[in-house]
Amino acid sequence: MKLNIVEYPDKRLRQKSTDVEVFDKKLHDFLDAMYPVMMDTNGIGLAAIQVAKPIRALILNIPDDDGEQPYENLLEIINPIITHKSGETVYQEGCLSVPKFYEDISRYENIVINYQDRDGNTKTLEADGLLSIAIQHEIDHLEGILFIDKLSYSRRKKFEKEYKRMLKEKK
């Protein structure tokens, strides 16, 4: 199945995603189809809503020390729940649905999540660093929240102006 990335300001990105209930081949095929979409656009994280499927599923492949993203680093996180969060960290985030924009966003430094894998098995994951940031960024997508929503009023205004200009140039 060919999946295309939905880009801001498309209203579909604002939908709240619903829990995955059935862990069948259809789900597996969809997760398999998400992977090249993320990897072909230099992504490190992608939520299902970004390919127009409002289900609580996200994939991550955090680059390792030499910047590689081997397939075995792929994380498929379904129905995530954050059970612990602490500390604070700031990172310049980007998003495949908001191309060419990067902004400093504050997130929790450490989180623990419960989630299910593609077969419905419940797992627990403790994360810090880039993985923690990425998980929080992607879980926001499941609530219809984008990283640009976290900008101050003035920074958001600046973003909207620049983004509108970029959209006009694209036409």
Q: Distance between CA 171 and CA 169 in Å, rounded? A: 6
Note whether 45 binds ligand Y12 by CB under 6 A.
Answer: yes
Q: Which of 10, 18, 36, 41 binds ligand Y12 (CB under 6 A)?
A: 41
Q: Is 133 in the site for ligand Y12 (CB under 6 A)?
A: yes
Q: Of 93, 138, 143, 160, which one is the catalytic site residue?
A: 138
- Residue 102 CB, shortest distance to Co ion, in Å, is 12
Pick from ligand Y12, Co ion, none: which does 135 bind, CB < 5 to 8 A by kind? none
Does the annotation flag 137 for ligand binding? yes
**Burial class of residue 33 (count of CB atoms within 10 Å of its CB; 0-12, 13-18, 19+):** middle
Q: Indicate if 138 belongs to the active site.
A: yes
Residue 121 burial class via C-beta count within 10 angstroms: exposed 0-12, middle 13-18, buried 19 and up? exposed
Torsional sign, CA 67, 2, 59, 160: positive
Q: How many residues bind Co ion (CB under 5 A)?
A: 1
Both tokens of residue 16? Answer: 């709240």
49-88 positions binding ligand Y12, by CB under 6 A:
none
Say if residue 95 carries a ligand binding annotation. Answer: yes
